[in-house]
Amino acid sequence: MEFYGLFGESLSHSLSPELHKSIYHKTGIEAAYKTFPFPPTQLQQAVEGIRVLSLTGVNVTIPYKEKIIPYLDELDPFAEKLRAVNTVQNQNGKLVGYNTDYAGFGLIFTRRNWKLKDKSVVILGTGGAAKIVEAYLIDQGVKQIIIVSRSPEKYKDTPITTYTSYNNIQSLSGDFLINTTPVGMYPNVDDTPVTESTIQRFGTLVDLIYNPQETKFLSLGHHHNKQTANGLDMLVGQAVRAVEIWETLSIEERIIDELIEKFKKKRVDANED
């Protein structure tokens, strides 16, 4: 039996163990998965623990997706490009970092047949998830990306991507508005990263939060007849891709669809990014 786990700072209500158990059951894999919460001061020790405990692999969630990189032996070229890791494989003591969030995020759009080419997009937040979102959008041929940050001066604009502050958000509009921040996540379910008037200036809203399944941000969008999507597809997609890497196999799309439908029906009490 193989042993896997999740690294993060606060994981008491994580959905990942149940999700991975479902994946293993549907694919006939003999494996176990548990959470490993720890404070940032123990990150290096935790990474070494992957070798000591002979874990075959771990997932990585906030706030360690970027911070874990210096402690790994190697990065997959894609994770190197993104400079964010959410999956680590233990290859006989060599720890290799991967990123499966990109594939998971893409599911939100492919499952709904939403097209991004030549669209304008506003991203809320600049964390590790925002990097994944930006990369995916660029690869899909968007026309313009505006990223809203609390410290836009820290970032350099590109021909496609422009940074701005939350003070300027009332002047923004576009085809898609994507929230990559934790604002509105359980238990702070009455919070929203932007006002209702801002939401009305966009056609489609995406929130990477999956708990609650309809955040206030998405609820306001639904009220104004906007297309909306939460982060459940991304959560399931990245988990399935991680298992494919660890187990060297390919999982049918049918299983992904079944998992998404199963967890849509569940009430969850936390969110991972």
CATH number at residue 40: 3.40.50.10860
Provide the pLDDT for residue 273: 46
Name the DSSP class of 56. Answer: S
CA dist 198 and 200 (Å) reads 5
Question: Is 74 in the same domain as 131?
Answer: no
167 within a domain of the structure (yes/no) = yes
Per DSSP, which regions of the chain are E strands?
2-8, 31-37, 57-60, 74-75, 87-91, 94-98, 120-124, 144-149, 161-165, 174-179, 202-207, 227-229
36 within a domain of the structure (yes/no) = yes
Query: pTM of this prediction?
Result: 0.91
pLDDT more than 90, % of the chain: 89
Residue 146: what residue type?
I
| Average pLDDT score over residue span 243-257 | 96
Which strand ranges, in their side-by-side order, compose the sheet holding 174-179?
161-165, 144-149, 120-124, 174-179, 202-207, 227-229
- The catalytic residue among 65, 119, 131, 216 is 65
| Residue 83 in tokens | 């400079």
Question: Is 113 in the same domain as 93?
Answer: no
Residue 185, pLDDT above cutoff 60: yes
Q: Enumerate residues 6+ apart whose C-beta is below 8 A from 180.
A: 123, 124, 125, 127, 129, 130, 133, 208, 273
272 within a domain of the structure (yes/no) = no
CA dist 253 and 73 (Å) reads 32
Question: Is 26 in the same domain as 119?
Answer: no
Provide the pLDDT for residue 27: 96
CA dist 64 and 34 (Å) reads 17
CA dist 215 and 138 (Å) reads 26
Question: Would you give the end-to-end CA distance of the chain in angstroms?
Answer: 28
pLDDT more than 70, % of the chain: 97
Question: Is 43 in the same domain as 84?
Answer: yes
Question: Is 139 in the same domain as 75?
Answer: no
Residue 271, pLDDT above cutoff 60: no
Name 132's bridge partners.
none
The 3-state DSSP class for residue 236 equals: helix
Name 252's bridge partners.
none
273 within a domain of the structure (yes/no) = no
Question: Is 85 in the same domain as 134?
Answer: no
Question: Is 61 in the same domain as 151?
Answer: no
Provide the pLDDT for residue 74: 98
Provide the pLDDT for residue 270: 42
Catalytic residue flag (residue 216): no
pLDDT digits (tens, 9 = 90+) for 103-129: 999 999 999 999 999 999 999 999 888
Question: Is 165 in the same domain as 197?
Answer: yes
CA dist 153 and 151 (Å) reads 5
CA dist 153 and 164 (Å) reads 8
246 within a domain of the structure (yes/no) = yes
- Mean of the per-residue pLDDT values for the chain? 94
| Average pLDDT score over residue span 39-68 | 96
Provide the pLDDT for residue 109: 98
| Residue 22 in tokens | 């479902």
237 within a domain of the structure (yes/no) = yes
271 within a domain of the structure (yes/no) = no
Provide the pLDDT for residue 269: 43
Tell me how many domains the chain contains: 2
Question: Is 247 in the same domain as 196?
Answer: no
Number of H-type helices and E-type strands within the chain:
9, 12
Residue 111: what residue type?
R
Of 15 and 33, more confident: 33
| Average pLDDT score over residue span 261-265 | 90
Question: Is 59 in the same domain as 126?
Answer: no
Listed range (124-128, 224-228, 246-250) with the worst mean pLDDT: 124-128
Q: pLDDT grade, residue 211 (50/70/90)?
A: confident
Give the domain extent around 127: 103-230
47 within a domain of the structure (yes/no) = yes
Question: Is 87 in the same domain as 146?
Answer: no
Question: Is 71 in the same domain as 138?
Answer: no
Block residue for tokens 């290096």:
44
pLDDT digits (tens, 9 = 90+) for 54-100: 999 999 998 899 999 999 999 999 999 999 999 999 999 999 999 99
Q: What CATH number does residue 167 fall under?
A: 3.40.50.720
Provide the pLDDT for residue 267: 55
